[in-house]
Chain A
Amino acid sequence: MAARESHDALPDNARHSRSDGRLKRSAKAWHRERGTRVRRQRVRAAWLFLTPMLIVLAAVAGWPLIRTFWFSLTDASLSSLDGAQFIGVENYLVFDDGWYGILADPLWWQSVWNTLYFTLVSVSLEAVLGVIVALVLNARFRGRTLVRAAMLIPWAIPTVVSARIWAWMLNDQFGIINHMLLGLGLIDAPLSWTADASLSMWAVIMVDVWKATPFVALLVLAALQMLPSDCYEAARVDGIHPVRVFFRVTLPLITPALLVAVIFRALDALRVFDVIYVLTSNAASTMTMSIYARQQLVEFQDVGYGSAASTLLFMIIALVTVVYLYLGRRQLGGGQ
């Protein structure tokens, strides 16, 4: 023991020049013992624990996605999935005395435009309204808990139900919205919100905004409640106008949370289906990419063509996600 201690006390160079043989052996042992037994056991358990989830996700997401892509290259129909013949990209685009295929279908292009328009308008409105609601809920006042609970109600109501309720409120003859607008003298004659091609998109947006604003508001509220209060005290001491404080201090600080909420909402809006299906069914003026694809798949039973539409929707959403991630990373990189 005494010998070992003086060994420790030796200067570095003396220590290293000793026992070269042992160093070599340890270097070899190193690879063998990357982790303790505990660690190896845990890594094995981790994969074991992940397996059920991975299998289920493969069964409901991975494999079906691959199959959908395959179907998009065949002439499969709902009644004869097994007898599908490979036809290349004919479902997407083919020249046969004129252009055919989805990319040549004006209705599909309209559905793309409708989807983008719907996404842009509704998500923008939800972001603005969400911030306002969050600011209100962030103030201290009596009954705040109650108001917050009330704000959650639109979010919890099933989309189909809220679409039905709004359809009733927007009813052209007996709807309360027309009744109110007429009563206020804002319109002369009842509007047919869901049937009129120029109004139906706005009706759909109205319902979506009503339903999704609470989600945005909650995320922004969570960010607001994590803001450091000393910023505000400093601003108040300096006598800066509250509106300026909002744009200079609050908004930049809640932007990350708002961006997260916006991307979640945008991804939801790009695949929107149920609100529109219930409110306006398959009408061309509100047809989105999801509605278009499902109509082909189920109602026209053209699985090949419908799968091609599905695949295009998937690719567009993947593209948006990748662009968002890229921009997000670049912004982060620039900020540092």
Chain B
Amino acid sequence: MTLRMLKAVVLKIGFWALVGVLMLYAIFPFYYAVVTSLKPSSELFEVSYWIDDLDFSNYVAVPSQPAFLAAIRNSVIVAVSVVIIALLLGLTAAWALGRVRFRGRTTVMMLVLGVSMFPQVAVLSGLFEVIRTLDLYNSPGGLILSYTIFTLPFTVWILTTFMRQLPDELEEAAIVDGASPWVTLTKVFMPLLWPAMATTGLLAFIAAWNEFLFALTFTLTDTQRTVPVAIALISGGSQYELPWGPIMAASVIVTVPLVVLVVIFQRRIVSGLTAGAVKG
């Protein structure tokens, strides 16, 4: 009897310890970045686990750099445009793939899935040529175009999954009412798909906000960089003189919006991620 109780207590403690360790593992790096960013540069090289006194000098220093502000502006322009384009093209494609049976549908689905597996490097030189031909090199336009390669396939994929879940009879009712496919999509389905579109848009936004390889390759000047590139390229005189305080402050600044989004919309994000993957 007591042995069993003891075992239960030990199990319970073990479980909570595991939860604690996982929590620590997940959030400690970000926490530590916050701690570091709030230290004056003089104290940077003494390891400490908490914030002793607040020093906002890094947060003053970073945004005062015009290049960093430009990077944030570019990132916002690129990510928002990519979300809008991906949702627009994705929604119409998802209607076609999710609600109409036609010859070639499976082929198109496979094609879309195939593109989502492309290594970005595999198209780098060809895409570079396309972007230069369209005169989009070193501009947000080039990034917006190139980011559709990874946002569009999963947007289509997830929206198709959600589109399939809408009842058939709803669409048939619209047909009997005389609605064309375009009217059905915009007047009947779109209002019902807002949650799915929000989820998908959020995922597309995060993916575009975080992208690095294309942004690094297709931009040249400081004013055209996006945030990840700007942060990756912050450097000091040498490896040992990296300005860690400002780097951490910049990291925190660009991450906080994402963390807030994730915490608020975690349920949606989870449903979007699983909808995209489980059907694959």
A touches B (Cβ under 8 A) = yes
Please state if B123 and A68 are interface contacts (CB–CB under 8 Å): yes
Determine whether A42 belongs to the interface, using a CB cutoff of 8 Å to chain B. yes
The interface residues of chain A lying within 8 Å CB-to-CB of B182 are 45
Q: Which size bracket describes the interface of A in this complex?
A: 35 or more
Please state if A290 and B258 are interface contacts (CB–CB under 8 Å): no
Among A43, A71, A171, A290, point to the contact of B126 (Cβ < 8 A): A71
Please state if B22 and A298 are interface contacts (CB–CB under 8 Å): no
The interface residues of chain A lying within 8 Å CB-to-CB of B85 are 56
Q: Given the interface contacts A65-B118, A68-B122, does A158 sit within 8 Å of B227 by beta carbon? A: yes
Q: Given the interface contacts A165-B33, A165-B248, does A65 sit within 8 Å of B112 by beta carbon? A: no
Number of A-B pairs, beta carbon distance below 8 Å:
281
Please state if A57 and B112 are interface contacts (CB–CB under 8 Å): yes
| Bound-complex Cα distance A63 to B123 (A) | 9
* Interface residue SS majority, chain A: helix
Please state if B126 and A66 are interface contacts (CB–CB under 8 Å): yes
| Bound-complex Cα distance A165 to B175 (A) | 55
Please state if B124 and A65 are interface contacts (CB–CB under 8 Å): no
Please state if A314 and B125 are interface contacts (CB–CB under 8 Å): no
Closest chain A residue to B245, Cβ basis: A168
| Bound-complex Cα distance A85 to B153 (A) | 34
Please state if A153 and B96 are interface contacts (CB–CB under 8 Å): no
The interface residues of chain A lying within 8 Å CB-to-CB of B244 are 168, 171, 174
Per-residue B-contact encoding for A235-249, CB less than 8 Å = 1, 0 else: 000000000000000
Nearest chain A CB to B3 CB, angstrom units:
17
Please state if B118 and A158 are interface contacts (CB–CB under 8 Å): no
Within 8 A of A (CB), among B91-120: 92-93, 95-97, 100, 102, 105, 108, 111-112, 114-115, 117-120
Within 8 A of A (CB), among B235-280: 240, 244, 247-248, 251, 254-255, 258-259, 261-263, 266, 269-270, 273-274, 277-278, 280
Please state if B92 and A157 are interface contacts (CB–CB under 8 Å): no
| Bound-complex Cα distance A161 to B227 (A) | 10
Q: Given the interface contacts A152-B266, A174-B47, A218-B270, does A67 sit within 8 Å of B129 by beta carbon? A: yes
Determine whether A147 belongs to the interface, using a CB cutoff of 8 Å to chain B. yes
Determine whether B228 belongs to the interface, using a CB cutoff of 8 Å to chain A. yes
| Bound-complex Cα distance A215 to B203 (A) | 13
Please state if B152 and A156 are interface contacts (CB–CB under 8 Å): no
| Bound-complex Cα distance A156 to B100 (A) | 35
Determine whether B121 belongs to the interface, using a CB cutoff of 8 Å to chain A. yes
Please state if A219 and B277 are interface contacts (CB–CB under 8 Å): yes
| Bound-complex Cα distance A60 to B152 (A) | 11
| Bound-complex Cα distance A81 to B127 (A) | 12
Nearest chain A CB to B277 CB, angstrom units:
5
Please state if A168 and B36 are interface contacts (CB–CB under 8 Å): yes
Q: Which size bracket describes the interface of B in this complex?
A: 35 or more
Within 8 A of B (CB), among A40-70: 41-43, 45-47, 49-50, 52-54, 56-57, 59-61, 63-68
Closest chain A residue to B132, Cβ basis: A81
Please state if B29 and A64 are interface contacts (CB–CB under 8 Å): no
The interface residues of chain B lying within 8 Å CB-to-CB of A23 are none
Q: Given the interface contacts A169-B32, A215-B273, does A61 sit within 8 Å of B248 by beta carbon? A: no
| Bound-complex Cα distance A48 to B100 (A) | 12
Please state if A71 and B23 are interface contacts (CB–CB under 8 Å): no
Please state if B274 and A222 are interface contacts (CB–CB under 8 Å): yes
| Bound-complex Cα distance A314 to B114 (A) | 11
Please state if B175 and A50 are interface contacts (CB–CB under 8 Å): no
Determine whether B146 belongs to the interface, using a CB cutoff of 8 Å to chain A. yes
Please state if B277 and A293 are interface contacts (CB–CB under 8 Å): no
Known: A145-B266, A271-B121. 11 other contacts (CB 8 A): A50-B108, A63-B126, A152-B269, A156-B258, A158-B227, A160-B210, A173-B240, A210-B29, A261-B277, A317-B122, A321-B117
30 cross-chain CB contacts under 8 A: A49-B93, A52-B92, A53-B90, A53-B156, A56-B152, A57-B115, A57-B148, A57-B149, A60-B146, A150-B26, A151-B22, A154-B29, A156-B259, A158-B210, A160-B228, A164-B247, A165-B29, A174-B45, A179-B47, A219-B274, A219-B277, A273-B213, A277-B212, A277-B216, A278-B232, A290-B121, A307-B125, A310-B124, A313-B122, A314-B118
